[in-house]
Amino acid sequence: MSSNLSRFAVAAAATLALITPLAIGSADAATTHAAKANVAAAPDSASYTAAEVLAGVKANSTAANKVNTKPHINTMTRAQNVNVYQVANGVYAYTSSMAIDTDGSDPDPDPDHQGDTTWSDSNGKALGAHHVPFYVLGDDCWDRVKPCPHFFYKEHGMSGRQFALMFYNGHVIGSIFGDTQTANNQSTSDNDSRELGEASVKAAQLLGIPSSGTTGGVDNGVTVVMFSGPSWVVNGTNSNLNDHAQAMVQNALDTLGASMNGGTPPPPTGTVFEAETGTLSAGGTFDSNHQGFTGTGFANPANAVGSYVDIPVTASAAGTKTLTFRYSDGTTAARPATISVNGTSTGTLNFPTTADWDTWATASVSVTLKAGANTIRVAGTTANGPANIDSVTVS
């Protein structure tokens, strides 16, 4: 359980304002019919900036969309003025402080440090606050009634390692639900499960916030946007959960941006490479039996761990590029995949479910390409294999 008793004496004197938005600068089982995802799938080739999405979150944080009927406690200031809003279907947001949670398997000199976290990594090990960006929610309904007057995660389709976007001072990161704040059955002094506004050392570091468990944190201005449902649960270990969470950021921005906007933003600039120009591992096929694909078809990799599609792409110059995959997953489970460039893994990218096999979404990741020819491999990490892959845009 999270504890923050030493945080209160070091809270900054002035409360920061809300963030000012920046300038807008076979995967396919024949007998499977998909249930709709909690969040509308991102539109074709969508590309939303963090500033655009944050502006949309703020615009949708209205009294009509407020989830709690009693305010939450700002962890750092103790003011009861934090509210949670449903900003899109299955997506919940709040703006509060960031107190620093040092709990978990990483050692820390913070006198409030505890060796366990409520949620663990995929191997059952307590999360490490110095390695994993995680946020903290109340452990139970403080009011002991249903529905809870305060936001209680179990009433909103959330569980451990639930993905969230975190915004602060022009930064956006991916984070996971990693720890909980004091349950009613625990003896405490100041803190209780109505609090909002605590996150791990790693989350603070990524956002540029002082990360000491005793002297760090900020009083306000951190916006946390939580995605509910099983397709947004992040899998991995303490060594790679951060990479997995950051790989999901652009897809989350695109998905949420499309859901709030109700339209299709300008497509990303770049060169499109069709998946059907590549090669598949044994059992995969290039198909055209679902609507909405581009080119002459799409890649339908085999249903197996490690099954893959290799897509040849070219780059005019070496450097960091964004790969935006256009994909479809008409099942009820996300299909994470390892993304490799020229035989070297760049980490795991999540491909959340889409409404059906005729609905296409996008997932993006930053990689380093060499000048000239490159080979991008999308390899499934589960028994279902990768999603159907239509194309990849290099920008």
* pLDDT tens-place string over residues 141-178: 878 888 899 999 998 889 999 999 999 999 999 999 99
The residue with tokens 């990524």 is 206
For residue 254, the surrounding DSSP H or E stretch is helix 249-261
Identify any residues that bridge with 300 across adjacent strands, giving them in sequence order. 285
Asked if pLDDT for residue 34 goes beyond 80, the answer is no
Q: Average of pLDDT values for 56-65?
A: 92
CA gap 76, 15 in Å, rounded: 10
Residue 12's SS3 state is coil
Reported as a pLDDT band with limits 50, 70 and 90, residue 363 is confident
Query: Would you state the pLDDT for residue 116?
Result: 87
Query: Would you state the pLDDT for residue 17?
Result: 26
Residue 65's SS3 state is helix
Q: Average of pLDDT values for 30-57?
A: 56
Asked if pLDDT for residue 280 goes beyond 70, the answer is yes
Query: Would you state the pLDDT for residue 262?
Result: 62
Q: Look at strands 344-349 and 337-341 and give their pairing.
A: antiparallel
Q: What's CA 26's distance to the chain center, in Å?
A: 26
CA gap 9, 331 in Å, rounded: 50
What is the percent of the chain with per-residue pLDDT over 70, rounded to a whole number?
Answer: 84
Q: Are 278 and 314 in contact (CB under 8 A)?
A: no
The residue with tokens 């980490």 is 347
Structure tokens, 40? 């509308």
Reported as a pLDDT band with limits 50, 70 and 90, residue 183 is low
CA gap 99, 136 in Å, rounded: 10
Q: What is the pLDDT of residues 216-272, one digit of tens each?
A: 999 999 999 999 988 888 989 999 999 999 999 998 998 898 888 764 444 455 788
Reported as a pLDDT band with limits 50, 70 and 90, residue 18 is very low
Q: Average of pLDDT values for 279-296?
A: 92
Burial of 343 (0-12, 13-18, 19+ CB in 10 A): exposed
Q: Is this structure's pTM higher than 0.75?
A: no
Rounded to a whole number of angstroms, the CA Rg of the chain reads 21
Identify any residues that bridge with 94 across adjacent strands, giving them in sequence order. 224
CA gap 285, 78 in Å, rounded: 58
Asked if pLDDT for residue 196 goes beyond 70, the answer is yes
Asked if pLDDT for residue 20 goes beyond 80, the answer is no
Query: Would you state the pLDDT for residue 22?
Result: 27
Query: Would you state the pLDDT for residue 185?
Result: 53
The residue with tokens 């994909």 is 327
